[in-house]
Amino acid sequence: MKVLKLIGGLIAGILAGLLIAAIILMMFTDITASEFIANMRSASAAKAALAAFMGVVAFVVSLAILIPAHEAGHLVCGLLSGYRFVSFRIFNFTFIKERGKLRVKKYSVAGTGGQCLLSPPDLPLEKIPTGWYNAGGVLANLLLLLVALPFFCLDLSPLAREVLAIFCITDGFLILTNGIPMKLGGISNDAYNMLFLNRNLMSKRALVLQLRTNALIQDGLRPSCMPDAWFEWTTDINFRNPLEVSIPLMYASRLIDEMKWDEACERFTELYSHRGDIMQLYVNEIACELAFCMMITGRREEAAALLDDKLLRYITDYSKVMSSKQRILCARALFLENDRPKAEAILHALEADARNYLLRGEVESDLAIMNSFMQNEDGDKSI
């Protein structure tokens, strides 16, 4: 199946390269669509393959330049607005400052090619700036586009002109998808956040708290050690708004850290009942923690039903970057599979690999919880 997907992706890339080459030639030369097709028929297979290959390579290289530039724009504008550096991720590689030194760790979020996380300045909510932080990525892409466009005035070879045009088209696409207010896969883009956060203080508060708690967790602090005022339970929210959903989700997640299993199970059950409105990434996280709470509280048949192949695949995929997924796999081995040696192996592997995880506070929490339920030989809820 993976081989078929690879072949399909290669064919799609070649076709996309040919299509982009055709569009560029028609935009910047006098050639017509019929003339392009006629030329392709008469051209050698080697030339056609080279044009398609260069189109794909140019697109990949463009993304490798433009995505880091976009995140660097957020970083620069955020720092100029008084924010503090927390992490800078490009694809699966994340740069963090740990004990005064810059370190690189692996971390990924589905649907994103990069992410710049900063900690907001210590100001009253209404005075915390969010505009420049959100605008920085688009501004960086606009700057690169302005630098690249004058090169069309040079006497470039057709191949070089194709590469330049693909770069500009890719950059223009990123500018439009981030600069026009919209939601992509349920997630608000930069422009949407710029407009929306100024009008919705609940969403702005949620964003500020997410950034602050993330910074502290990365520094090694557990949610249970953070101020109570940061966490509140409310379902009087728009469940289609990921920022608003994060408010009760943070509350329920903190209950896990506090090992208040029954209340956590109740809260995650309520959140899961709104899964039709919540974006899929959050639904997956809610389902994971609900299944864990069900295992801990003895509702093992319900937990097994929730942990279907799709959710288990999600848990496995993220187990290398999120220690909470190792906690769930450990609980599954102990409570559902009755395999204590397997559960112990998962626990010991996480203990050995703890320093490689990005969120140190989350690792501390998960290890404490795992050690707690592992102390009970039978794995019942009286831990």
Q: Report d(CA 128, CA 281) in Å as an integer.
A: 27
How confident is the model at residue 7, as a pLDDT? 47
Query: Are residue 218 and residue 133 in the same domain, yes or no?
Result: no
Assess whether 208 and 262 both reside in one domain: yes
Indicate whether 180 and 212 sit together in one domain.
Answer: no
Kindly state whether residue 368 falls inside one of the protein's structural domains: yes
Residue 277 is predicted with a pLDDT of 94
The structural domain count of the chain equals 2
Position 40 in a domain: yes
Residues 155 and 301 in one domain: no
Q: Domain of residue 343: give its range.
A: 201-374
List the strands of the sheet with 84-90, edge to edge.
Answer: 101-106, 93-98, 84-90, 114-119
In this structure, the answer to whether residues 235 and 180 fall within a common structural domain is: no
Sequence-distant (≥ 6) Cβ neighbours of residue 173 within 8 angstroms = none
Domain-located, residue 150:
yes
pLDDT of residue 314: 95
Per the domain annotation, does 99 fall within a domain?
Answer: no
pLDDT, mean of each 10-residue run, the chain (383 residues): 48 56 57 60 60 80 93 95 91 79 73 79 93 94 95 86 88 93 81 86 93 93 95 92 94 97 97 95 96 96 96 94 96 96 96 91 96 74 43
* CATH number of the domain that residue 336 is part of: 1.25.40
Residue 318 falls within a domain, yes or no? yes
In a domain, 25, yes or no: yes
Residues 266 and 358 in one domain: yes
128 and 207 co-located in one domain: no
pLDDT at residue 3 in the model = 45
Tell me which of 153, 178, 195 is where a domain ends. Answer: 195
Statement to judge: residues 206 and 273 lie in one domain:
yes
Query: Cα 38 to the chain's mean position, in Å?
Result: 44
Same domain for 147 and 277, yes or no, is: no
Residues 204, 209, 210, 216, Cα dihedral to 10°:
150
- 326-344 exposure pattern, b = at least 16 Cβ within 10 A, e = fewer: bbbbbbbbbbbeeeeeebe
Q: Please tell me the predicted confidence (pLDDT) of residue 382.
A: 41
Domain's final residue, options 138, 163, 195: 195
DSSP for 347-376, written as a single string = HHHHHHHGGGSS-HHHHHHHHHHHHHHHTS
H or E element, residue 85: strand 84-90
Q: Is the entire prediction scored with pTM above 0.85?
A: no
3-state SS assignment for residue 222: coil
Q: State whether 189 and 237 are in the same domain.
A: no
Closest by CA position to 21, among listed 144, 91, 13, 328: 13
- Greatest Cα-to-Cα distance within the chain, rounded to the nearest angstrom: 78
Q: Are residues 166 and 206 in the same domain?
A: no
- Considering the domain architecture, whether residues 186 and 214 belong to the same structural domain is answered as no
Please check whether residue 383 lies inside any domain of the structure: no
- Final residue of a structural domain among 142, 174, 195: 195
Cα 77 to chain centroid distance, Å, stands at 21
- For residue 49, being part of any structural domain is answered with yes
Question: Going by C-beta distance under 8 Å and a sequence separation of 6 or more, which residues neighbour residue 137?
Answer: 70, 71, 73, 74, 178, 190
